[in-house]
Amino acid sequence: MDQQLGPPGTGGLLAALHLWRQMLVEGPKKFGNVIYYGTAPFDGQVEQAEMMLATRNVADLRFTFNASSEQLLSLEMVADSTDDGCELRFADYRQVGERQLPHRIEVRRGDDVVGQLQWQQIELGSSTSEEQKP
């Protein structure tokens, strides 16, 4: 099943990226079954992280946010309960226009780092609401 969801060994990288995009575009109210889970410890964070759980189609997702900055720390996606799934860890946030965007995404499966995506620069295209209509 892993090959259908992304490069082999990633646990579903393409599906995880797609679901992240859908959450950004649709927001939690239209995404599907989304609940605030509460706070929990997260690797490398002094303070407790905010957790949000979501289900979209067959995928279960856990979003972890820095409580102070509200930046997304990680997204864990599991589409098969017998598999580790894919975890994306977001880092190197930089100002791009009016937004803070991650410039590095570490791809993990279980305890293993299986890849990294990194951008030197991100440019957002300008679009109006008229251009976004189908």
Q: For 28-42, what is each residue's pLDDT tens digit?
A: 889 989 999 999 999
Strands 59-66 vs 49-56: parallel, antiparallel or unpaired: antiparallel
Sorting pLDDT into bands at 50, 70 and 90, what band is 63?
very high
Q: Kindly report the pTM of this predicted structure.
A: 0.84
Q: What is the mean pLDDT of residues 102-121?
A: 94
Does residue 59 contact residue 79 with C-beta atoms inside 8 Å?
yes
Distance of CA 20 to the CA centre of its chain: 5
Average pLDDT across the chain, whole number? 87
For residues 49 and 131, the model is more confident at 49
d(CA 77, CA 72): 14
